[in-house]
Amino acid sequence: MKILVVGSGGREHAIGWALAKDERVTKLWFAPGNAGTDSLGENLPLKATDVAGIKSWCEKQRPELVVVGPEAPLCAGLVDELSALGIKAFGPNKSGARLEASKIFTKDLLVKAGIPTAISARFTDLAEARAYCASQPYPLVIKADGLAAGKGVIIASSLAEADEALDQIMAKKVFGTSGDSVLIEEFLQGQEASIHAVTDGTDYVLMPSSQDHKRIRDNDEGPNTGGMGAYAPAPVVTDSLLATVEEQVIRPIISVLKSEGIDYQGVLYAGLMLTPQGPKVLEFNCRFGDPETEVLLPLLQTPLLDLLLATVDRGIGKLNFELKKDSAMTVVLAAEGYPENPMMGAVIHGLVAAPTMLFHAGTTRRDDGKVVVSGGRVLAATGVGHDLYDARRQAYKIAADIRFDGKQYRLDIGKKALDLIESGK
């Protein structure tokens, strides 16, 4: 089977890694891929956001399946364009991808479906938004409505910080038109967790629970990033809590999407806050998370190809979906200066002896064959073991063995989970 994977990050490398293990897969392309994916298949000179270019290439090459990794091409309607060509594509269509393209759209759906979420207000006028912030208790969460590469959510601890955030988003347009509207929410307390469901529009399966680490430094300090590490499953998500999430979140969102006339096929990624009142939805994403994908896919017992095909062929209800009983952890190695001003070009050493679950993200192979840093998040070192302790040892061993100037990574990935395990012993 010939498959195109759209994207260039650790998520797409992990998807390619899982597919390459399947003997049914005879050809893999990546658009555009990175220095890790080029060992699995062929990298194409096509940006993930080049919808017209990808469509034209697919029209000529006719891949049997296209797996769209990032949110931007989904929100731009790539799946719609490919479906019109009769090409199977994994991911929601443009109307379904609005779950991530518009936080206000999603908030309206959550309220309509009765899904627990933060109290909020939305604004298109800067003065009205500022007046609202002056009347609220702090902290407050201020969100640009549209896509902002994971950086459009600001936690303001004071009115001065709220004013600055609103000025950046609505007046200075640091996120472009994504800041034409803002959503202002109450600040929820608790641990965060991620639940990934894969649905064919009617039936669904659940991936292992996971927990991401957004802050750049240990102890959740410093600015937010795209994610500095993750682990799965998350001990904080007990069987009973997962059953509650299914009942209160997953089934209702699938139902309300259907009632709105949205044919949603693909990933429903619920970002949750586990509050004392129960789980509440912070956001929905329309694709696999990154770096969550790097710990979820190694825990699949069912081949990834079977899951992808069952989704696009509306056969999840008949899929024999199984997970391994292992644990996985990934540690992100970031460039010097990330996230504010990542430094590019450093040569990466130690890759030759690295295991297969070192997933590339911001890497490029130069003409001389050397692999260099070309993005803020550079690599994701993933370990899999019989428990989180074992997975953690493996992940950090890989992380320590990789060398490049300015390398930075957190040393406390999974600490909350291990503390929870220790407290229960």
Instruction: Report, as an integer, the average pLDDT of 59-66.
Output: 98
Sign of CA dihedral 340, 341, 344, 350: negative
- Residue 356: which residues within 8 A CB-CB, separation 6 or more? 17
**Cβ contacts of 349 within 8 Å, gap of 6 or more:** 402, 403, 404
pLDDT at 348 over 70: yes
Pairing outcome for strands 266-275 and 191-199? antiparallel
pLDDT tens for each residue of 36-46: 999 999 999 99
- 78: enclosing H helix or E strand: helix 78-84
pLDDT of residue 151: 75
CA-CA distances (angstroms) from residue 270 to 288, 336, 388, 408?
A: 10, 31, 23, 28
**Range 340-365 average pLDDT:** 93
Residues 226-280 have pLDDT tens digits of: 899 999 999 999 999 999 999 999 999 999 999 999 999 999 999 999 999 999 9
Kindly state the percentage of the chain with pLDDT values over 70: 100
Looking at residue 289, its pLDDT comes to: 96
> Regarding predicted confidence, which is higher, 272 or 356?
272
| Residues linked to residue 153 through DSSP beta bridges, in sequence order | 143
Architecture of domain 2-91: 3-Layer(aba) Sandwich (3.40)
- For the ranges 115-119, 145-149, 233-237, which has the lowest average pLDDT? 145-149
Topology given in CATH for the domain delimited by 191-423: D-amino Acid Aminotransferase; Chain A, domain 1 (3.30.470)
Q: How far apart are CA 283 and CA 115, in angstroms?
A: 11
Count other C-beta atoms under 10 Å from residue 176's C-beta. Answer: 11
Write down the H helix ranges in 126-188.
126-134, 159-166
Quickly state the pLDDT bin for 152 (edges 50, 70, 90).
confident
Question: What are the sequence ranges of the domains in the chain?
Answer: 2-91, 119-186, 191-423
Q: Is the per-residue pLDDT at 425 higher than 80?
A: no
At 5 the three-state DSSP class reads: strand
Average pLDDT on 14-32 reads: 98
So what's the pLDDT on residue 49? 97
pLDDT of residue 303: 98
pLDDT score of 423 more than 90: no
What's the confidence (pLDDT) of residue 352? 84
In this predicted structure, what is the pLDDT of residue 355? 75
- Checking if the pLDDT of 145 tops 90, the result is yes
* Cα–Cα distance for residue pair 181/297, rounded to 1 Å: 35
Q: Are 35 and 360 in contact (CB under 8 A)?
A: yes
Average pLDDT of the chain, as a whole number: 96
CATH 3.30.1490.20: does it fit domain 119-186?
yes
